């Protein structure tokens, strides 16, 4: 090789190296905000997932930021939008999507879908029907479901057997449920050493569970087609709140006061609560921590089986560059592929939003090994959209504060739901007046 040739080769090699480094640094950078709303080591796993994506797709560089609970993530995202620096994509609680649509802060993905060979009309067909309500608005697709859940009853099998109950036939109606809870409660004189039933009373959780009970009591809870209407002061909701009140004060099978979700799972593990109601999202956490045989059951029905879905979806914000939007789409497509959704579901206990995830071999064998996961999926048949209105957090808190008062012994259910309705209506007023074409604010 002549010296000239060697120099040329070196130059070419150098140019190639520079070109590749330039290409690498030309990766589109996007920010991704995500919450961890249930128990488990989800933040670490999400970080791992994002790292995997970044390695597989060098043209996109995702910076994932853990932003607290669903409520916190909403706050932080709102603040970022107001400051003019929104993230490209965020994992948002499914019931907040409507609010972002109303405020004009997020963009639908129909065009991105079409551009990339998808069909907006059939895209959501692969997703469970119950999820579609919270994912669309005005006929457009605004959110791609990533993790979903329903409330689930977790049962301590040993306690059931000891109390003469059949764990294979968990309580299916309210009446059976109350009876079981009473039977399972253990008293030592005046003190209760084991509660038949416990459920979280904290913000976000309580509203969700209240909605489950209201819906199992035949109620709609809110107007899916109109984000300004909630049905708190209705017999169905009132009956649900009355059930909770009675469990605490009449049957004395549920502790008084607001209980933190961690408290609930700790008590379950410690054998101080025989039945608990938690999200299916905590399924893996419970599976890992329970040192006794347990099983899961549907939320009991009074008039019908109906539960709200929970969980989060990926949404995309206005105010980002077209390149960032394309990059966000690449990221979201990967995250919501059947494989990724399946593996996330197996790790967490959330169910995979895509039906096709359950056709994959890994999922089939997992479900065969873990029948509790299957029961969670079966309840999807009865799943309904989650409370989603204008200013939903405030509207949700309106009922939560009242239910908290009821289970703390401060209010009676009738007064509580009346106050909740009044407060919620006050919060919804600005939206409703706009819809009703009232010009005065």
Partner 1 sequence: MTTAALSSLRGSRRAGTRLGEWDRRARPLLLLLPSLLCLGAFTYWPIASVVVDSFFGRRLGEKVASFAGIGNYLRLATDGKFEAAALNNLVYAVLTVVPSVALALAFALLLQRSTRFTAVLRALLFFPTMIPLIGAAALWTFLFLPTVGLIDYYIGRLVPLSINWLGDPDTALMALSIVTVWKNAGYYMLFYIAALQAVPGELVEAAILDGAGAWQRLRHVILPQIAPTTAFVAVIALIQSVTAVDHVIVMTHGGPNDATNLLLFYVFQTATELHDSGKAAAATVVTLAILLLVSGFGMRAFERGAAHAD
Partner 2 sequence: MRINGAAVAGIAAAFAIALVWSAPLLWMLVASLRPDSYGALDIASLWPSGPLSFENFREAFESGDFLVCYLNTLIVVAGTLGVQLVTVSLAGYAFARLRFPGRDLVFYLFLLQLMIVPPVLIVPNFKTVTALGIHDTLWAVMAPYWASAFGTFLMRQAFKSIPRDFEDAAAIDGCNVIQLLRYVLLPIAKPALIAFSIVSVVAHWNEFLWPLMAIDSPGKRTLTLGLATFVSGAEGAAEWGLIAAGTLIVSLPLLAGFVVFQRQFVNSFVFSGIK
- Decide: is 201 part of the binding site for partner 2 (CB under 8 A): no
- Calculate the alpha carbon distances from 105 to 86, 93, 98 in Å: 9, 15, 10
- Decide: is 256 part of the binding site for partner 1 (CB under 8 A): yes
Name, in order, each residue with C-beta under 8 angstroms of 318's C-beta and a sequence gap of 6 or more.
86, 104, 105, 106, 107
Task: Select from partner 2, partner 1, none the partner in contact with residue 59, using the beta carbon and a kind-dependent cut-off of 5 to 8 Å.
Answer: none
Report how far residue 32's alpha carbon sits from residue 65's, in angstroms, rounded to the nearest whole number: 6
Task: Select from partner 2, partner 1, none the partner in contact with residue 36, using the beta carbon and a kind-dependent cut-off of 5 to 8 Å.
Answer: partner 2
Tokens of 21: 């480094």
The residue with tokens 């050493």 is 193
- Decide: is 191 part of the binding site for partner 1 (CB under 8 A): yes
CB of residue 102 vs partner 1: minimum separation in angstroms? Answer: 6
The residue with tokens 């968990």 is 170
Distance spanning both ends of the chain, measured CA to CA: 84
Span interacting with partner 1, options 112-120, 142-150, 225-233, 404-412, rule CB under 8 A: 404-412
- The helix (H) or strand (E) run that includes residue 10 is helix 3-25
- Decide: is 183 part of the binding site for partner 2 (CB under 8 A): no
CB of residue 364 vs partner 1: minimum separation in angstroms? Answer: 38
Task: Select from partner 2, partner 1, none the partner in contact with residue 24, using the beta carbon and a kind-dependent cut-off of 5 to 8 Å.
Answer: none
CB of residue 48 vs partner 1: minimum separation in angstroms? Answer: 25
- Decide: is 66 part of the binding site for partner 1 (CB under 8 A): no
CB of residue 29 vs partner 2: minimum separation in angstroms? Answer: 12
**Dihedral angle over CA of 320, 323, 325, 331, nearest 10:** -130
Report how far residue 179's alpha carbon sits from residue 166's, in angstroms, rounded to the nearest whole number: 13
CA 101, 104, 110, 116 dihedral sign is: negative
Span interacting with partner 1, options 4-12, 208-216, 325-333, 426-434, rule CB under 8 A: 426-434
Nearest residue (CB) to partner 2, 6 versus 288: 288
- Decide: is 319 part of the binding site for partner 2 (CB under 8 A): no
Report how far residue 110's alpha carbon sits from residue 138's, in angstroms, rounded to the nearest whole number: 12
Pairing of strands 273-279, 143-149: unpaired
Nearest residue (CB) to partner 2, 148 versus 284: 284
- Decide: is 270 part of the binding site for partner 2 (CB under 8 A): yes
Site for partner 2, residues 11 to 30, rule: CB under 8 A: none
Report how far residue 184's alpha carbon sits from residue 181's, in angstroms, rounded to the nearest whole number: 5
Nearest residue (CB) to partner 1, 5 versus 439: 439
Among 17, 47, 79, 175, binds partner 1 (CB under 8 A): 79
179 CB-contact burial (10 Å; exposed 0-12 / middle 13-18 / buried 19+)? middle
- Calculate the alpha carbon distances from 119 to 111, 116, 125, 318, 331 in Å: 9, 9, 10, 22, 18
Among 116, 223, 262, 408, binds partner 2 (CB under 8 A): 262
Task: Select from partner 2, partner 1, none the partner in contact with residue 3, using the beta carbon and a kind-dependent cut-off of 5 to 8 Å.
Answer: none
Residues near partner 1, by CB under 8 A? 71, 75, 78-79, 99, 102-104, 191, 201-203, 255-260, 262-263, 266-267, 270, 272, 390-391, 393-394, 401-402, 404-405, 408, 410, 423, 427, 430-431, 441
Residues near partner 2, by CB under 8 A? 36-44, 47, 63, 65-69, 72, 76, 79-80, 82-83, 85, 261-262, 265-266, 269-270, 285, 289
């Amino acid at each position: 090789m002549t010296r000239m040739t060697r120099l040329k080769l070196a130059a070419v090699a150098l140019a190639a190296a520079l070109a590749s480094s330039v290409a690498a640094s030309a990766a589109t950078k996007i920010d991704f905000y995500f919450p961890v709303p249930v128990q488990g080591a989800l933040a670490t796993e999400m970080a791992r997932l994002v790292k995997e994506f970044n390695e597989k797709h060098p043209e996109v560089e995702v910076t994932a930021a853990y932003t607290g609970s669903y409520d916190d993530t909403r706050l932080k995202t709102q603040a970022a939008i107001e400051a003019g620096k929104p993230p490209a994509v965020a994992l948002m609680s499914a019931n907040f999507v409507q609010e972002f649509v109303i405020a004009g802060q997020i963009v639908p993905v129909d065009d991105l879908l079409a551009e990339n060979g998808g069909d907006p009309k059939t895209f959501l067909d692969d997703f469970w029907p119950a999820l579609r309500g919270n994912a669309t608005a005005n006929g457009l697709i605004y959110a791609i479901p990533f993790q979903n859940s329903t409330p689930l009853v977790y049962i301590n099998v040993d306690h059931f057997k000891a109390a003469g109950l059949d764990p294979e036939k968990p309580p299916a109606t309210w009446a059976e449920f109350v009876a079981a809870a009473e039977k399972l409660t253990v008293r030592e004189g005046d003190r209760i050493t084991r509660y038949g039933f416990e459920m979280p009373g904290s913000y976000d959780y309580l509203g969700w569970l209240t909605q489950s009970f209201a819906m199992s009591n035949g109620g709609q809870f809110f107007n899916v087609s109109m984000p300004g209407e909630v049905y708190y002061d209705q017999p169905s909701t009132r009956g649900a709140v009355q059930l909770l009140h009675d469990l605490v004060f009449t049957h004395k099978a549920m502790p008084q006061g607001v209980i933190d979700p961690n408290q609930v799972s700790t008590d379950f593990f410690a054998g101080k609560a025989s039945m608990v109601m938690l999200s299916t999202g905590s399924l893996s956490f419970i599976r890992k921590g329970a040192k006794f045989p347990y099983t899961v059951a549907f939320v009991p029905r009074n008039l019908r089986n109906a539960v709200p879905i929970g969980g989060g979806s990926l949404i995309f914000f206005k105010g980002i560059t077209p390149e960032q939007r394309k990059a966000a789409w690449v990221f979201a497509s990967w995250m919501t592929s059947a494989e990724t959704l399946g593996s996330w579901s197996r790790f967490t206990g959330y169910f995979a939003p895509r039906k096709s995830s359950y056709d994959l071999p890994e999922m089939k064998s997992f479900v065969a090994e873990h029948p509790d996961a299957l029961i969670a999926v079966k309840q999807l048949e009865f799943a309904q959209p989650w409370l989603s209105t204008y200013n939903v957090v405030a509207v949700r808190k309106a009922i939560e504060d009242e239910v908290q008062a009821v289970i703390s012994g401060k209010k009676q259910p009738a007064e509580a739901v009346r106050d909740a309705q009044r407060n919620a209506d006050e919060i919804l007023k600005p939206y409703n007046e706009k819809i009703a074409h009232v010009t005065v604010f």
